[in-house]
A and B are shown apart, each in its own frame.
Chain A
Amino acid sequence: MTSIWSHRPQLLHLALFVAAYVLGCAFAKALRLAPGTNISIWLPGGLLMATLILTSTRSWLWWVLAGCVGELIGQFLFFHSPLPAALLIYVGNVLEAVAGAWLVNRFCGRPVRLETLQEVLLFVVLAAGIAPVLSATVGSATLEWFGVKSQTFTTAWPLWWIGDATGILIVTPLALVVLQNWRRDAELSGVRWIEAWVLALIFLGVAVLSLSGYLPFAYIIMPPLLWAAVRFDFKGAAVTLILLGVVTAIFTISDASRFVGDPGSQREKQIMLHLFLAISAFSALIVAVISRQHQVALATLRQRERSLRELVETLPAQIWCVAPDGALIYFSQQFRDFIGSSANDGDGAARLWGLLNEIVHPDDRGTVNTAFAHAMAAGEPCTLKHRLRRSDGEYRWVETRAAPMRNSEGVIVQWNVICLDIDGEVRAEEELRLARERVARASQAASLAELSASIAHEVNQPLAAIVANSHACHRWLSAEPANLERAKITAGRIIRDANSAAEVVSRIRALFKQSTKTRNAVAFGGVVAEVLDLMAGETVRRRVRIDTDIESPLPLVALDRIQIQQVFINLMRNGVEAMDRTVGPRVLTLRVRRTADAIQTEISDRGAGIEFPDRIFEPFFTTKDHGMGMGLVICRSIVESHGGRLWEEKNEPHGAKFIFALPVDVKAAA
């Protein structure tokens, strides 16, 4: 009990409800046309059902009691039925409202919004179709039982049913929707207000003219009614239906309505009137819900479009779109901001190429244009790195990716292009590359210096012994008399030490042979390019030009990159040094070509040529002032350890030519 008491609605609401209920009764009374019946359009039924749908079941008892008060007042004022009959009729009305409310809550979900066509149709069938069956049955039976105005069950039932259904159709959805949604929509703009007033006037005019019978057909009211439902959805439908009800009531009361006729046809006319109102209400409801659905869909679509646009605009990238013919379709704000006001003239393909020519760095223009042209011709996505001019004139590195967008037939409808600013990364990468290069250069120099130092030490020990012994030997032999015994001993030592020096060299060779595990398949062209880069400074300083003739493409070769580069550098440096005293043009020619099973490299100079071709590959043989006589020995060792060959030839017309061939398949080093 306490829970019911605690769920009691506000007294004001209950009072308003009772007042509305009584007003509904008055309306029913006003539209009661058929003689010998008090059955009419029963708005209070719809009101009660709407109230029950909107409120919680715990407070239903209060509303039912309030309805009972209203019903009794109505009966007392308008219908004058006996009290038991009135109560029975009210029981039928309550049954109808409770059944309708329960069904609607059950099947349309809470809160009832009536926003989809499915919900509206369910509502029409359940609340306006099935629920009135209860009240019509109870009410008609009561009328017959009590013999109110001598009506029979069968004559009263249809009139009762359609009256209640109409009442529910007019009141319930409007009450539901209007009460729930009245404040939800934005204020109407001025133009909309004008439209609303014009519509109201037209509607009133048409209603008056058609209902008074001046216009031939009552349903001529439909176009303005539907217009209101379309343009102002539920609000429009509610207002116009109420207007229609009021106009109908006025005409019916004043007996000017087309639905008022002679007593014979009056009953039929009343059914026609009910039908008219029911159909109007039904149509308006359906159209209103379709209109609302449409608006909701439009709003959703707009919302989605806006969020998509926001997504595109706030992505940390510059986005633009091009039509397949090159017409510029879309620039994201970021891209616009980046390029500033560029390439706004021309049309079609001219605009795209105009834009590219204007904003792409001149050095990258060729590549970019080719890549774009190729991608657009082939319909394939492309990715490229290039510099792009920012609005302040600075060129920044960007990564541009373009991809085609196809329709369902696979035809390209648009190219979507994204530009990412990668300036920082590119510069960092460049720094890193330079640093790596410096390190590589340093380590190359270090490895050569280290190698030289260790070779120097290894070789100097026996050499020093040899020199000392030679002098001793010489002195023993030059002594008077010559000390042949000691000379012989020292000569023996000289031979021994010289052999040990030779052994050092073969140990170095062995050292290079062990390096096979550091070999990788590398592009020979890349190795040569690095060497040229390494030698660039030196050749410029010595005013030597390097002519290159490098076959392309070259196969991958398994080699120790550093060692082969040392061979290159050694041979090239020899060539450069050989031309120190050359008067004519100092040209070092580097030729790399593919033979049957090897890559052959020729390095030729225009120096004085080789004086002792038989000896240059011997250890410690040198013609240089500060040479160690190991360079060519090491070079040959390296090349041979790669399974290749190194030899020299005469260069025509003068100078020397060193050639080394590296087998392409260098699996097993000799």
Chain B
Amino acid sequence: MTADDHIVFIVDDDERIREALDELLASHGMRAAAFASAGDYVGADKPDVPACLILDVELPDINGLDLQKQIAEGDHPPIVFITGHGDIPSSVRAIKRGAVDFLPKPFSDSDLMAAINAAIAQDRETRSQRAELGALRQRYLDLTPREREVLPLVVSGLLNKQAAAELGISKVTLEIHRRNVMQKMAAASLADLVRIAERLEIPVTHSRRTGGSRV
């Protein structure tokens, strides 16, 4: 793990806390970026690397919990809350909305670092999944229109001749298309292709039985 391959964002209105956390993270060899308010954080250019957000609940412009709600729609790093006087309802709300941890001040070095590491690991995982999905989408976009028609029929489990009948083409032509799809989508087997289609959320429009009844 190097300093460049992840980053910790800190949002706290108290400068002493920002400084201290910055220092502590530096001593752990981590890169940190500190912001005094939620507005500053939202508006800042952030590097596209696995990250973690240390968020103070009491902020001058907007409550940390409200910020969490706001950024929930988009992609955002996992959040570790810190608070001067944490109450149970706030912590429950924060955790329910996916916060990694909720640490009352003063917190120990180990608790904080554990939370940060967990958050970054979680983000890394999310990111890799997101990247994988992006690659699959790209492959799907590379298919020809006819191949994109063939794919749902194949993953729906139709026999080649059934799928060919569905599209009004010969069985041989369909088999060529199918081979191309498998190749382009980098699917090792039909089962693999089905899994990929699932991740891409390609709807299964035909079942073999309904297809069969039409013949």
Contact = CB atoms under 8 A, between A and B. Distances in A.
Given A467-B107, A468-B109, A461 B84 contact: yes
A465 B28 CA distance: 16
7 contacts: A461-B16, A462-B16, A464-B84, A465-B16, A473-B27, A479-B27, A497-B20
Contacts of A473: 27
Interface string B101-114: 00011111100100
A464 B27 contact: no
Is chain A's binding surface mostly helix, strand, loop or mixed? helix
Contacts of B136: none
A463 interface: yes
B142 interface: no
A661 interface: no
A453 B23 contact: no
Given A456-B84, A466-B106, A467-B106, A461 B14 contact: yes
Interface of B: 14, 16-17, 19-21, 23-24, 26-28, 82, 84-85, 104-109, 112
A73 B21 CA distance: 145
Contact of A469 (B14, B20, B28): B20
Contacts, number: 79
Given A464-B107, A493-B16, A453 B85 contact: yes
A246 B115 CA distance: 138
Given A466-B106, A493-B19, A472 B27 contact: yes
Given A464-B20, A493-B20, A497-B16, A486 B105 contact: no
Contacts of B109: 467-468, 471
B85 A469 contact: no
B84 A471 contact: no
B84 A465 contact: no
Nearest to B113: A471
B23 A463 contact: no
B27 A471 contact: yes
Given A460-B106, A461-B84, A475 B20 contact: no
A468 B84 contact: no
Nearest to B110: A471
A131 B14 CA distance: 121
B84 A469 contact: no
Interface in A446-494: 453, 456-457, 460-469, 471-473, 475-476, 479, 483, 486, 489-490, 493
B33 to A, nearest CB: 16
A607 B104 CA distance: 33
Given A456-B84, A463-B105, A463-B106, A486 B27 contact: yes
B20 A468 contact: yes
B23 A457 contact: no
Contacts of B19: 465, 469, 493
